[in-house]
Amino acid sequence: MLRLVANTEEATSASIPMRWCIGRDTLALLQAKGALNPHLLLVVANKHYEVARRLVPIDQMMEYIDFQKPGKHKVLATIVWNSQGNARVLKKRIFGGRAIDINGQMHHFTKMSVLDDEGDLDILDDRRYNPANEFAICALDEGAQIEVNVAEGFFAAPPSKVEQFWVNFWFERPPRDQCQFRRRRMLAYIVQPPVVLLYMLAKTMVRFVVALFLLLYGKRGVNLRPLIHPWVLCNNDIWWTGRNKGSIFTRKKSGRDQELILTLFIPIIHVVVVTAAYVATYFQHHLSFWQVVGLGEGIVITVVALLYLFGAVVWLVNTVGDTIPGTAANLASLATLLLVVFIIVSLAIDHPLFAAMILAIVGVSWLASRLATIETRKLKALPEDERKRILLEREYVNYQPVACNGPMVARYSALPKERRTVYLFYRDLKAKVCKQFAA
């Protein structure tokens, strides 16, 4: 037996607590099945379609579900576990991801389908087909479901469109709840104004330079509206319309190439040459006219070479870009580790007391790890069936508080003291002070 209750009477937001209990006969059945580290799978459905899913250890006893829309929802629950008791593998199978087997091979898993066409739980028990598979998912045949009616008053009223635009200026996705919106609003009204002003000035100047360059090049289809609408239009809107139309000096409207001599009339070349000549004659009066022209043409060639170099760099980054973030992260992690070691060693050399404390901590940690290793070796030395029996007995003793024992209330204060974790306290407090925004 699996029971599931929700507390919608006392709820003030769309983050509603769900509590569950498991019958003692079901706990005995799970132990008999050899279910190591079982988890409760919670699935929120609306009109036969899945809205959200959560996977939590069964001994957590309660979880908060964040609903995104008002109305009636169906919450379904069942118990699932990995055949080897690996919670990480279980999450990879339920939510999708990658995992490495004992032979070092990588396996890719898509998000598991858990509902049938009628909106009921339908989880494939892999153990029926391959019980030895380390990635096998096992599921309890029975489950539980309740209907939750989420009132419109549980959701926070959306801010004005102007404030939403300003507060979410740097974010791609809207805030989930009031707490996230408040954090963004602090940034928006304290740090953001001068930063946005400088950003918009720089953005407009860059757009102006790009548009001027394209006009002097004779580019067709240049759009100047992004210069006066920096909030709405993107940078590439300047050239996107005429991206394949070419320059009036190099290509005809029909798409055929212009006469080669017309390239001499491209204004940007003369602008660069005249600018170079002016700069050269301003600082070096002894230069002749032809020297100035040669200098100007040299600058033109240099600019073109730099553009080609920039294109080569962009191509290189795009080619190996997928490996750069991981390499950078590894180097950063290594540098951080070396820095921490350097600081500890420096402090230890200068302060003998600090060095003694470090040695004591290392010694205690080593002793604890050795004791754990000895205990693990004792278990591994036992036969597989005996080892698993001992692990199951130890584990299911801790599951006794989850057993159904009379009525229960989905409230943080109603949980046993040993189950009032920091996480549930945080979720309980957040549900009281932070309302969700309706999707």
Query: So where are the chain's domains?
Result: 2-154+385-437
Q: Confidence band (pLDDT; 50, 70, 90) for 345?
A: low
Q: Give the tens place of pLDDT for each residue, 11-68.
A: 778 899 999 999 999 999 988 888 888 999 999 998 888 889 999 999 999 999 999 8
Amino acid at 72: K
Is pLDDT at 327 greater than 50 in this prediction? no
Q: Give the tens place of pLDDT for each residue, 328-338.
A: 444 444 444 55
Nearest to 35 by CA among 102, 144, 131, 145: 131
Q: How far apart are alpha carbons 439 and 421 in whole angstroms?
A: 29
Query: Across 97-179, where does the E strand assignment appear?
Result: 97-100, 106-109, 137-150, 155-156
Average of pLDDT values for 266-280?
74
Q: How far apart are alpha carbons 142 and 41 in whole angstroms?
A: 12
- Identify the bridge partners of residue 74 per DSSP, sorted by sequence position: 45, 147
Asked if residue 296 lies in contact with residue 281, where contact means CB atoms within 8 angstroms, the answer is no
Q: Confidence band (pLDDT; 50, 70, 90) for 268?
A: confident
Nearest to 99 by CA among 91, 111, 37: 91
For residue 336 the two structure tokens come to: 């951080």
Contacts of 348 (CB under 8 A, 6+ apart): 354, 355, 358
Q: How far apart are alpha carbons 212 and 210 in whole angstroms?
A: 5
Amino acid at 317: V
Amino acid at 61: M
